[in-house]
Structure 1
Amino acid sequence: MKRSSLFLALMAAGLCSLSPQVFAQSAQDFNDLRAEIKALRTEINQLKAQQAQAPVAPAASASNWNDRLDNVELRQKDAVVLGDIPGSFRLPGSETSIRVYGFAEANAIKDFKSTAPGDNFTNLAEQPLNSGHPATGKTVLTGQTSRFGFETSTPMSNGAFNTKIEADFYGYCGNECNRNRLRLRHAYGEYAGWLIGQTWSTFMDLDDMPETVDFNGPPGATFRRPVQARYTWNNPNLAKFQFALEEPSDGAHSPNLVARVDKGFDWGTLNARILSHEQRVGNASKRGFGFGLGGSYKLTGTATLMAQYTQVDGDGDGAYLVGANYPVLDGGTLRLDRARGVVLGLTNTFSEHLRATVSVGTVRSTRNVGDAYVNAYGLDGNERLTQWHLGFYYLPIKNVELGTELIGGRRTTYGGDTGSLSRLNLQARYIFN
């Protein structure tokens, strides 16, 4: 907690140290100041030449011109010009563009049925079963998903060197407390096709992920931010290829391997992804595999249909495929339950003030390892999860978004029991930069 407080203090000190001109000056302002200094220096040289021929009140005249010159030089020193990336700035003498961004966000969540433990937002994998559990609603108010970050871009000989650091306040600290702690989301550097640091998994199809007001979104897709080393080779005439070594799953000894290819078209996009990952429980280890396909299709100028399919053998972190079952130790053998997930979404922008998205996600256990899960956990292991979202965002004024979303879901266990999810999520988001 002390490190989190120190980080916030340093960020606040850095932001407060910026002059008021940081967000007011432009590149043209800076050039105008330079031109004014040049003109003043020319006038001073002319004045000195006149004084040499007929000196009249030299002290007063020189003092007046020097005062004007000092004033303009101070303005130039304090000036900050616009950077090379939208919303960024550069300090004089620096080629690095800096952008500070984020939003303050508040969510009001009303559960009409029982609430899953461990999270304010949807957690269908642990949704209480209908049998023996009365439908007791719950209301939650939280601002913990507010976030801030900064990114930089510096021109280099082989392209720009980019960095990014982003955090929110949704860090998990166990069942004994809520999530109101600083949490690192992204921290990486990127140059000449290489990215090293923490960010979205290369296996994750972020481009074809439907927007939801709910922070977690539907099951059936990848949602992971591991530390990784990634190389990207982009040939506009062919495709974009990516290869990555990613942070091992919980307890594993070897990194996860990911390869991916993306291709854009006038009508939309397509991608294919493969994964090799080690899963480990105690001393038992097994390597599993994953495969994914995704794409989008532009139905009209404002409406886009998106879809993704993901298949993963076991997932100890529950992030390479949200909703997949964890590996199970069956005697001395590690069992990996093969799960298949599908996410579909349709989004439409009605105007600059209103957009809407409808989506559904489902994940199903398909490998015949039910007995192993029953032996380990009883009949409560998940055979299928399905969740749908219907959400709207309204923008009444610049930098303000108001969201509302209806969410429903159904959990089905190996034993045939079901758990139903029904909730309303309201959101207010105030964006800076």
Structure 2
Amino acid sequence: MITKRKTASLLAATALSVTCTLAYAQDANTQAELEKLRLRIEALESQGPNATPGEFRIGNTTLDVYGYVKADFFYDFDFDQGDTAFVNVIGEPSAETSGTFGATVRQSRIGLLTSTPSAIGDIGGQLELDLFAGGGAAELRLRHANIRIGDQWLIGQFWTNFQPLDTYPTSVEFNGPVGIAFARVPQVRYTNAFSENAEFALSIEENVGSSNSDDPVFTASAEYNDGTYVARIAGLYGRAQDDAGINEVDQWGVTLSGSARLWQGGLFQVNYVTGQALGPWLIGLGDAVVNGEANDVDGFTVELRQDIGPKWNVGIAYGYEDYDLATSTGDLAFTELETIHVNAFYQATETLTLSAEYIYGERNDVNSGDDFDGSRVQVAAQLNF
């Protein structure tokens, strides 16, 4: 594990190793600056692991390294869903199994945050990578890369403004329940406050790849969050095309979200989404356009969580998506998807979390009229730094 204290040391060592190679050619002022840098790092480390701010400073810029190492172990009982519980493959003959064990560390990630004061406000940067490359390979993949100007502007790749981050259900497996928006896209976003607990955001975003559109997407959101109650509404508008690029349709969506902490240690939250040609923005990944027609969809999630003492947290989440037109997945084609996630998290130490989850998924096949279901159990260990 690389603790924040060790991170500061490594960054300091890197900076000093570079600058010291030039020290012999510099004057006394440069030597004095290097000595100040060394003393500043020693002062930072002397605070101890619980007091250090976890930031390294180069000039006016502070840096912070964050992330986690996560090991997942899972067993699919009916259909092999891969490293994520991908409900779309349930029922496909090619995925059928009498039992498949799998393990992955691909969810592990690392990120870097920077902050630099300026005349127009603090300039922040974020670069975050994980190991979820395509084809099952454990290779670096870009998650976030953005610039933030003050508290208002975000430029670069981040979660879509259409996605309800504050009410997103908690799960051990990577995706979580169906019935909710999930996308990271390049964008320009402006955020401002209505009041202390309320804000709005507007964005121009790149459309997700499976929408097959070269046009941008426009989103708007408004949220109230006082720590006990959350209420949010978000809208999206763009254009979508079929795979052949022949038929183009309007793409729009609305998300309504809310959560409440009505009792000690408890959390109840819901998300509802509806729209047209919106499937590529959702966990279920339904087709946006089918036979030249826009595919309407409705979806929702419901989650209940409860703290049990200072170290345990348990929860259950249900997700559902319903499409007007069928999406082909091989031999089958679905219009309905359902998932149930039942999980428990144990905070073994301040940085180490152990977890377990049971996942149930169900999908229909419009060709045969049959329903198919599959189950998975998953356990994981996650070390944050």
Shorter-chain TM-score range: 0.7 to 0.9
Q: SS of the counterpart of 1:199?
A: strand
User: Which residue number corresponds to residue 364 of structure 1?
Assistant: 322
The one-character-per-residue Cα deviations of 1:58-106 (angstroms, maximum 9, x if unpaired) are xxxxxxxxxxx999868526546489x98432337x2322111111111
Give distance in 1, aligned partners of 2:219 and 2:189: 9
Give how far 1:392 is off: 0.8
The one-character-per-residue Cα deviations of 1:214-262 (angstroms, maximum 9, x if unpaired) are 1111110011000111000112257311111111233212101101110
Counterpart code for 1:247:
E
Give distance in 2, aligned partners of 1:389 and 1:244: 32
Q: CA contact under 8 A between 2:161 and 2:201: conserved in structure 1? A: yes
- Figure out how many residues of one structure are paired with residues of the other and give that number: 354
Residues 72, 324 of structure 1: CA spacing in aligned structure 2 closer, same or farther, 3 A cutoff?
closer
Q: CA contact under 8 A between 1:324 and 1:363: conserved in structure 2? A: no
The one-character-per-residue Cα deviations of 1:85-140 (angstroms, maximum 9, x if unpaired) are 98432337x23221111111110001111213xx311111221258x986521100
Give distance in 2, aligned partners of 1:79 and 1:407: 48
Map 1:9-408; keep pairs closer than 5 Å.
Answer: 16-19=10-13, 75-76=38-39, 78-79=41-42, 81=44, 87-91=53-57, 94-116=59-81, 119-129=82-92, 135-173=97-135, 178-192=136-150, 193-236=152-195, 239-250=198-209, 251-265=212-226, 267-281=228-242, 282-315=245-278, 318=280, 320-328=281-289, 330=291, 334-365=292-323, 367=324, 369=325, 380-408=332-360
Q: SS of the counterpart of 2:219?
A: strand
Residues 353, 263 of structure 1: CA spacing in aligned structure 2 closer, same or farther, 3 A cutoff?
same
Give how far 1:299 is off: 1.9
Structure ID, larger Rg: 1
Give distance in 2, aligned partners of 1:86 and 1:293: 40
Q: SS of the counterpart of 1:283?
A: coil
Give distance in 1, aligned partners of 2:56 and 2:102: 42
Residues 296, 136 of structure 1: CA spacing in aligned structure 2 closer, same or farther, 3 A cutoff?
same
Give distance in 1, aligned partners of 2:129 and 2:33: 42
Counterpart code for 2:270:
A
Counterpart code for 1:422:
S
Query: Which 5+ residue runs of structure 2 have no aligned equivalent?
Result: 1-6, 17-31
Residues 418, 186 of structure 1: CA spacing in aligned structure 2 closer, same or farther, 3 A cutoff?
same
Give distance in 2, aligned partners of 1:238 and 1:200: 21
Q: CA contact under 8 A between 1:261 and 1:272: conserved in structure 2? A: yes
User: Which residue number corresponds to residue 427 of structure 1?
Assistant: 380
Query: Which 5+ residue runs of structure 1 have no aligned equivalent?
Result: 1-12, 23-68
Give distance in 2, aligned partners of 1:313 and 1:215: 26
Residues 182, 75 of structure 1: CA spacing in aligned structure 2 closer, same or farther, 3 A cutoff?
closer
Q: SS of the counterpart of 1:19?
A: helix
Q: CA contact under 8 A between 2:253 and 2:278: conserved in structure 1? A: no
Give how far 1:15 is off: 7.8
Residues 74, 287 of structure 1: CA spacing in aligned structure 2 closer, same or farther, 3 A cutoff?
closer
The one-character-per-residue Cα deviations of 1:345-400 (angstroms, maximum 9, x if unpaired) are 111222332112211101111x3x46xx6xx7898321211101111111222311
Q: CA contact under 8 A between 1:310 and 1:321: conserved in structure 2? A: no
Q: SS of the counterpart of 2:166?
A: helix
Give distance in 1, aligned partners of 2:372 and 2:215: 37
Q: CA contact under 8 A between 1:312 and 1:321: conserved in structure 2? A: no
Give distance in 1, aligned partners of 2:92 and 2:330: 14
Give distance in 2, aligned partners of 1:191 and 1:15: 28
Counterpart code for 1:222:
A
Residues 145, 267 of structure 1: CA spacing in aligned structure 2 closer, same or farther, 3 A cutoff?
closer
Give how far 1:341 is off: 0.7
Q: What TM-score do you get using the length of structure 1 for normalisation?
A: 0.74
Counterpart code for 1:88:
G
Identical columns (%): 24
Q: CA contact under 8 A between 2:88 and 2:329: conserved in structure 1? A: no
Task: Give the structure with the larger strand fraction.
Answer: 2
Task: Give the structure with the larger helix fraction.
Answer: 1
